[in-house]
């Protein structure tokens, strides 16, 4: 099979397009012929490497993928060759206490496709059938791949953990990342009112198109928490979605008494100072989570294939040009999800 691999950590130049032996499913797996993969920031982090990450080289990146089943292991039931599927990259073990409680994104033996095991930058992948969601005829493979990781992550944070309710105000810090664009749509679909803080004009325009009711340009309004306060008649917002990290001080100020700050990551930096007085004096909750459960995945993908949530697609590159796709993501030039087209 064709795949993008790397043999050592480094710049996008370490990515190589190579031939590998065709994989064969074990009795519990299916073999999927991939047609699309989508990029995530985790792909860049894994390519660069970090202390404690020990990969078996050559390694194949990629969490998100969609395609069709081309072979089914002998013990697999309920899945047929030819079915169109999107893959869930969260690999819970299925047997630990968290998995048995339906909290498989807290699995004790958790793995992520493309991080700890080989991923979707390839024309074929072996996968356990519990990781699959059936796609309707005609549903675009690129849209499905682009939705998989970010929508379940946003859904788990806003709905499962954050308990977002109709009528609430939601401030989303950052206008363009995959989780943030998904969060705007999920907030709108829930009947909440999304407010977005962003910088570039085209990113704010996109946020507005997706349902943001109030836009704050932080290149013009540096003290945006004050502006949020003013716009909410001096009460603050019910919920803040902050996946930037270093913006926590402003986010905590923007919350109303009893508000919740939701976070699934830190695109800027993981360490920063916060003023504890905001947390106790305003009865705030900080709610962290990562990825989603199998139930979240199934719920949110049902809404995606029904057209109620629509992933924003940026550029598509051929699989062989994954290096160029990485360069685009590293420069933060994208507006929506970058995908790879797989022959």
277 token code pair? 């007085």
**Which residue number, 98 or 139, has a Cβ lying nearer to Zn ion?**
98
Stretch that binds Zn ion, among 33-41, 90-98, 134-142, 203-211 (CB under 5 A): 90-98
Decide if residue 92 touches Zn ion (CB under 5 A): yes
Sign, CA torsion 64/207/251/299: negative
Residue 70 contacts residue 31 (beta carbons within 8 Å): yes
Shortest distance in whole angstroms from residue 100 CB to Zn ion? 8
- Are 341 and 315 a contacting pair, CB within 8 Å? no
Q: What six digits make up the tokens of 329?
A: 């993501």
87 binds Zn ion (CB under 5 A): no
User: Of 72, 86, 99, 300, which lies in the binding site for Zn ion, with binding defined by CB under 5 A?
Assistant: 99
Instruction: Kindly tell me which of 15 and 107 has the beta carbon lying closer to Zn ion.
Output: 107
- Regarding beta strands 214-217 and 132-134, do their DSSP bridges make them parallel or antiparallel, or are they unpaired? unpaired
Which range in 39-47, 65-73, 95-103, 202-210 contacts Zn ion by CB under 5 A? 95-103
Beta pairing class for 337-341 and 313-318: parallel
18 touches Zn ion (CB under 5 A): no
Q: Are 342 and 36 in contact (CB under 8 A)?
A: yes
Among 18, 93, 126, 305, binds Zn ion (CB under 5 A): 93
**Contact flag: residue 91 with Zn ion (CB under 5 A):** no
CB of 293 to Zn ion, least distance (A): 11
- Is 128 a binding residue for Zn ion by CB under 5 A? The answer is no
User: Which string of x and - marks every residue 33-72 that binds Zn ion (by CB under 5 A)?
Assistant: ----------------------------------------
Which residue's CB is nearer to Zn ion, number 130 or number 201? 130
The least distance separating Zn ion from the CB of residue 157, rounded to whole angstroms, comes to: 20
Q: How far is the CB of 134 from Zn ion (least distance, A)?
A: 24
Number of residues interacting with Zn ion: please give it, by CB under 5 A: 5
Q: How far is the CB of 106 from Zn ion (least distance, A)?
A: 8
Q: Does position 107 bind Zn ion by CB under 5 A?
A: yes
Stretch that binds Zn ion, among 101-109, 169-177, 244-252, 305-313 (CB under 5 A): 101-109
Smallest separation (angstroms) from Zn ion to the CB of 97: 8
What is the token pair recorded at 288?
């962290």
Question: Distances from the Cα of 180 to the Cαs of 4, 184, 268, 298, in angstroms?
Answer: 28, 6, 14, 20
Q: Does 96 sit near Zn ion (CB under 5 A)?
A: yes
Q: Report the interface residues with Zn ion, using CB under 5 A.
A: 92-93, 96, 99, 107
């Amino acid at each position: 099979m064709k795949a993008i691999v790397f043999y050592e950590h480094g710049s996008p130049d370490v990515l190589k397009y190579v031939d590998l032996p065709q994989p064969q499913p074990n009795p519990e797996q299916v073999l999927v012929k991939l047609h699309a993969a989508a990029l995530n920031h985790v792909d860049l982090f894994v390519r660069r490497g970090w202390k404690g990450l020990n990969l078996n080289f050559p390694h194949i990146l990629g969490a998100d993928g969609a395609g069709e089943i081309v072979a089914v292991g002998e013990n697999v039931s309920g899945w047929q060759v030819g079915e169109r599927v999107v893959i869930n990259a969260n690999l819970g073990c299925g047997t630990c206490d968290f998995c048995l409680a339906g909290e498989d994104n807290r699995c004790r033996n958790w793995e992520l496709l493309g991080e700890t095991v080989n991923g979707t930058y390839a024309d074929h992948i072996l996968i356990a059938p519990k990781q699959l969601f059936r796609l309707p005829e005609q549903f675009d493979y690129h849209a499905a791949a682009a939705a998989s990781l970010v929508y379940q992550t946003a859904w788990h944070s806003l709905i499962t953990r954050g308990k977002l309710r109709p009528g609430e105000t939601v401030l989303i810090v950052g206008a363009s990342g995959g989780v943030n664009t998904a969060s705007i749509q999920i907030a709108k679909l829930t009947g909440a009112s999304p407010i977005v803080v962003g910088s570039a004009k085209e990113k704010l325009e996109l946020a507005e198109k997706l349902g943001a009711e109030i836009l704050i340009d932080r290149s013009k309004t540096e003290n945006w928490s004050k502006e949020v306060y003013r716009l909410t008649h001096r009460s603050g917002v019910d919920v803040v979605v902050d996946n930037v990290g270093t913006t926590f001080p402003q986010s905590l100020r923007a919350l109303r008494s009893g508000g919740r700050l939701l976070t699934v990551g830190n695109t800027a930096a993981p360490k920063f100072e916060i003023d504890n007085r905001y947390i106790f004096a305003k009865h705030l909750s900080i709610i962290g989570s990562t990825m989603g459960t199998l139930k979240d995945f199934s719920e949110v993908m049902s809404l995606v294939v029904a057209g109620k949530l629509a992933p924003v697609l940026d550029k598509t590159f051929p699989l062989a040009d994954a290096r160029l796709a990485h360069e685009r993501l590293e420069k933060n030039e994208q507006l929506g999800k970058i995908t790879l087209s797989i022959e």
